[in-house]
A and B are shown apart, each in its own frame.
Chain A
Amino acid sequence: MATERNDIEKALSRRYEAGFITDIEMESLPAGLSEDIVRAISAKKEEPQWMTDWRLAAYRHWLTMSTPEWAKLKIAPIDFQAISYYAAPKSRPKSLAEVDPKLLEAYDKLGVPLHERAKLAGVAVDAVFDSVSVGTTFRKELAEAGVIFCSMSEAVREHPELVQKYLGTVVPVGDNYFAALNSAVFSDGSFVFIPRGVRCPMELSTYFRINAGHTGQFERTLIIAEERATVSYLEGCTAPMRDENQLHAAVVELVALDDANIKYSTVQNWYPGDENGVGGIYNFVTKRGDCRGARSKISWTQVETGSAITWKYPSCVLRGDDSVGEFYSVALTHHRQQADTGTKMIHIGRNTKSKIISKGISAGHGQNTYRGLVKVEKGAEGARNYTQCDSLLIGKKCGAHTFPYIEVKHPGAIVEHEATTSKISDDQLFYCRARGIGEEDAVSMIVDGFCKQVFKELPMEFAVEAKKLLELSLEGAVG
Chain B
Amino acid sequence: MLKIDNLHVSVAGREILKGLSLQVNAGEVHAIMGPNGAGKSTLGHVLAGRDGYEVTAGSVEFDGKNLFELEPEERAAAGVFLAFQYPVEIPGVNNTYFLKAALNAQRKVRGEPELDSMQFLKRVREKLSVLHISDDLLHRAVNAGFSGGEKKRNEIFQMAVLEPRLAILDETDSGLDIDALKMVAEGVNHMRDANRAFVVVTHYQRLLDYIVPDFVHVLADGRIVESGDKSLAFKLEEHGYAWLKERKLAGSEA
Contacts and interface: CB of A to CB of B under 8 A. Distances in A.
Interface of A: 425-428, 430-439, 441, 445-446, 448-453
Given A426-B51, A445-B101, A449-B141, A438 B73 contact: yes
Contact of A446 (B77, B87, B93, B106): B93
B236 interface: no
Given A428-B90, A452-B92, A434 B141 contact: no
B88 interface: yes
B158 interface: yes
A449 B90 contact: yes
A449 B109 CA distance: 24
Given A446-B90, A448-B93, A449-B91, A430 B101 contact: no
Contacts of B89: 428
Contacts of A435: 76, 98-99, 102, 158, 162
B82 A434 contact: yes
A433 B71 contact: yes
9 contacts: A431-B90, A434-B50, A434-B75, A435-B98, A435-B158, A436-B77, A441-B105, A449-B90, A449-B93
Contact of B92 (A427, A436, A451): A451
Interface residues of B, number: 31
A436 B103 contact: yes
B76 A433 contact: yes
B88 A427 contact: yes
6 nearest interchain CB pairs?
A: A449-B92, A449-B93, A436-B76, A435-B102, A433-B72, A436-B106
A438 B158 CA distance: 17
Main secondary structure of the interface of A (DSSP, over half): helix
A361 to B, nearest CB: 13
B49 interface: yes
B4 to A, nearest CB: 18
A436 B49 contact: no
Given A437-B98, A453-B92, 11 more contacts: A430-B50, A436-B73, A436-B103, A436-B106, A436-B162, A437-B101, A446-B90, A448-B93, A449-B93, A449-B141, A451-B92
Contacts of A448: 92-93
Interface string B45-60: 0001111000000000
Interface in B22-63: 48-51
A298 B158 CA distance: 42
For A431, A438, A439, A441, the residue with the greatest tally of chain B CB atoms inside 10 Å of its CB is A431
Contact of A450 (B73, B91, B162): B91
Interface of B: 48-51, 71-73, 75-77, 81-82, 84, 87-93, 98-99, 101-103, 105-106, 109, 141, 158, 162
A439 B76 CA distance: 13
Given A430-B50, A430-B51, A431-B84, A437 B90 contact: no
A425 B98 CA distance: 17
A433 B51 CA distance: 11
A433 B90 contact: no
Contacts of B98: 432, 435, 437, 445
A435 B154 CA distance: 13
Contacts of A450: 91-92
For A434, A439, A445, A450, the residue with the greatest tally of chain B CB atoms inside 10 Å of its CB is A434
Contacts of B48: 430, 434
B92 A434 contact: no
Nearest to B103: A436
Contacts of B106: 436
B82 to A, nearest CB: 5
A437 B162 CA distance: 12
A448 B93 CA distance: 7
Contacts of B88: 425, 427-428, 430-431
Contacts of A434: 48-50, 72-73, 75-76, 81-82, 84
B73 A445 contact: no
A449 B97 CA distance: 11
B91 A438 contact: no
A436 B48 CA distance: 11
Contacts of A438: 73, 105
Given A435-B158, A437-B102, A438-B105, A430 B92 contact: no
For A438, A446, A450, the residue with the greatest tally of chain B CB atoms inside 10 Å of its CB is A438
A433 B49 contact: yes
For B49, B89, B92, B106, the residue with the greatest tally of chain A CB atoms inside 10 Å of its CB is B92
A436 B93 contact: no
Nearest to A427: B88
B72 to A, nearest CB: 4
A27 B101 CA distance: 50
A471 to B, nearest CB: 13
For B75, B87, B88, the residue with the greatest tally of chain A CB atoms inside 10 Å of its CB is B88
B59 to A, nearest CB: 21
A436 B162 CA distance: 10
A426 B45 CA distance: 13
B138 to A, nearest CB: 16
B116 to A, nearest CB: 18
B71 A445 contact: no
A248 B214 CA distance: 70
Contacts of B76: 433-436
Contacts of A451: 92
For B51, B71, B90, B109, the residue with the greatest tally of chain A CB atoms inside 10 Å of its CB is B90
Nearest to B104: A436
Contacts of A427: 88
B66 to A, nearest CB: 18
Contacts of B105: 436-438, 441
Contacts of B51: 426, 430
A434 B81 CA distance: 7
Nearest to A438: B73
Contacts of B99: 435
For B50, B72, B77, B103, the residue with the greatest tally of chain A CB atoms inside 10 Å of its CB is B72
Contacts of B162: 435-436
B132 to A, nearest CB: 22
A432 B103 CA distance: 11
A293 to B, nearest CB: 35
A438 to B, nearest CB: 5
A445 B48 CA distance: 20
